[in-house]
Amino acid sequence: MNGLTIALSKGRIFEETRPLLAAAGIEPAEDPESSRKLIIGTNRPEVRIIIVRASDVPTYVQHGGADIGIAGRDVLMEHGGQGLYQPLDLGIARCRLMVAVRQDFDYASAVRRGARLKVATKYLKVAREHFAAKGVHVDLIKLYGSMELAPLVGMSDAIVDVVSSGNTLKANHLVAVEEIAQISARLVVNQASLKLKRAELKFVMDAFARVSTPLDADPVLP
């Protein structure tokens, strides 16, 4: 189909993408928080936005359901990034992917002892690779959300999750013990679209690049 389809998730990604879209002269016609529509028009007839789960953004772009999308680096690490160009770190939706445990759990000594750890997370691939690289044996438990609960009910020793303010960890008597990666959201582009819609995409990428601050360009993290 002609025109440009952009995949976004509701919430922080959509809100933090608004100024980037504005820089490209794109204004969503509706607010996804109040509209139930999954396809949202814009002030530009050739540009539309599809609203998908954050973890589905790379999949939609990979398979051509959208030409471009914006996804957290956490989501992209877990997806693997096959079939996607990642031309731009947008510096938005910043957080850190961390290992966290209960405040009363001695993580360092468990690792030193070579204990086998139960780890609950929605980031199975990332967690598997992280602990394998450290030589720590883990049993992974796949969850889809509220990972913070697992250690509290004795289901796991640790979690792997993204942390921004740290308030959720604190409120649940958890503490971050290890950083896996610094995270911000990136622009992802379908490989065929990049060839077929070069001019449109270059316009959008240039506009986004003008108004975003990549993580690396920024010595001080929030």
Q: How many angstroms separate the CA atoms of 187 and 87, rounded?
A: 6
User: Quick check: helix, strand or coil at residue 210?
Assistant: helix
Nearer to ligand PRT, 111 or 149 (CB): 149
Q: How many angstroms separate the CA atoms of 133 and 129, rounded?
A: 6
- Taking the complex as a whole, the smallest distance from the CB of residue 145 to ligand PRT amounts, in Å, to 5
Nearer to ligand PRT, 73 or 197 (CB): 73
- Taking the complex as a whole, the smallest distance from the CB of residue 88 to ligand PRT amounts, in Å, to 15
* Chain residues that interact with ligand PRT, rule: CB under 6 A: 9, 11-13, 53-55, 72, 74-75, 93, 95, 145, 161-168, 183, 185
- Taking the complex as a whole, the smallest distance from the CB of residue 3 to ligand PRT amounts, in Å, to 25
Nearer to ligand PRT, 67 or 161 (CB): 161
8 strand-pairing partners:
51
Nearer to ligand PRT, 30 or 56 (CB): 56
Q: Which residue is nearest to ligand PRT (CB)?
A: 72
Residue 68, C-beta contacts closer than 8 angstroms, at least 6 positions apart: 4, 5, 6, 7, 61, 187, 188, 189, 190, 193, 201, 204
Nearer to ligand PRT, 120 or 200 (CB): 120
- Taking the complex as a whole, the smallest distance from the CB of residue 161 to ligand PRT amounts, in Å, to 5
- Taking the complex as a whole, the smallest distance from the CB of residue 42 to ligand PRT amounts, in Å, to 20
Backbone angles phi, psi at 203, to 5 degrees: -60, -45
Closest alpha carbon to 184 in 84, 57, 71, 98:
71
Closest alpha carbon to 118 in 102, 104, 133, 103:
102
